[in-house]
Amino acid sequence: MNTKIKANSYNPDDYERPSVAVDIVLFSIIEAKLKTLLIKRGSLPYMGDWAFPGGFVEIDESLDNAAYRELKEETNIDQSQIYLEQLYTFGKPNRDPRMRVITVTYFALVSVDKLNNPQAGDDAADVGWFSVFNPPDLAFDHSDILKYAITRLRYKLEYSAVGFQLMPETFTLRELQESYEIILVEKLDKGNFRSKLRRTNVIEPTKFYRDTRGRPARLYQFKVDAVAEIKTRRLFP
């Protein structure tokens, strides 16, 4: 028996279809704190509440393009400034009071020295950076999304060189260690950190130094191929 459905016997209007959205969790280290960028919603639902930049995927665009577009429209941050990858898909039936909406969330990182001044646009009433550990009440299920994104960030620090996306072009070893401590909320042993970092072979010294209270500190940079995954596997215990 042929179980294939003939094309002319299928009517898509006979089936309910969920909408698809994207939401972007953008992290940066600002003033020695791990922060995330939020927009204040300018329309219903949750008008006036804070949420992650995002919106509906257009019928003719890819998920990645939708994420870049929404980030640009709502915050004026360009895709050339950030590192972006898919995080997770959230799809509880009641997560959006308007309709059934499945959101593909994205995890993004940017160094503070690469940031343009974020500006609210599109349907956003305002935009701002907030500590990930003390955010305002968030719309939809974005509190759950934030918790998941923080866990993913910490996990990725253990096995990849993704953390360099949060660093400026050059940095001291102290600054690099402090950035990881901010994210992990954990004090790392200086000697152990530097020993493991040397074995990973993902950074290299520059010829420049930064004046400190003591002797000048050498500036380092990540090697060109440091972005490759698994480069710093198990860097941190």
Q: How confident is the model at residue 15 (pLDDT cuts 50, 70, 90)?
A: confident
pLDDT at 222 over 70: yes
- Domain final residue, candidates 113, 131, 157: 157
One domain, residues 136 and 77: yes
Residue 8 within a domain: no
One domain, residues 149 and 183: no
Q: What whole-number distance in Å separates Cα of residue 161 and Cα of residue 53?
A: 25
One domain, residues 63 and 123: yes
pTM score, whole prediction: 0.88
- Domain final residue, candidates 100, 127, 157: 157
One domain, residues 38 and 94: yes
Residue 42 within a domain: yes
Domains in the chain, number: 2
Report the share of the chain in percent with pLDDT over 70.
91
pLDDT at 227 over 50: yes
* Enclosing domain of residue 171: 160-227
| pLDDT tens profile 80-125 | 888 899 999 999 999 999 999 999 999 999 998 887 678 887 778 8
Residue 235 within a domain: no
pLDDT at 128 over 70: yes
Q: What is the CATH number of the domain that holds 219?
A: 1.10.10.10
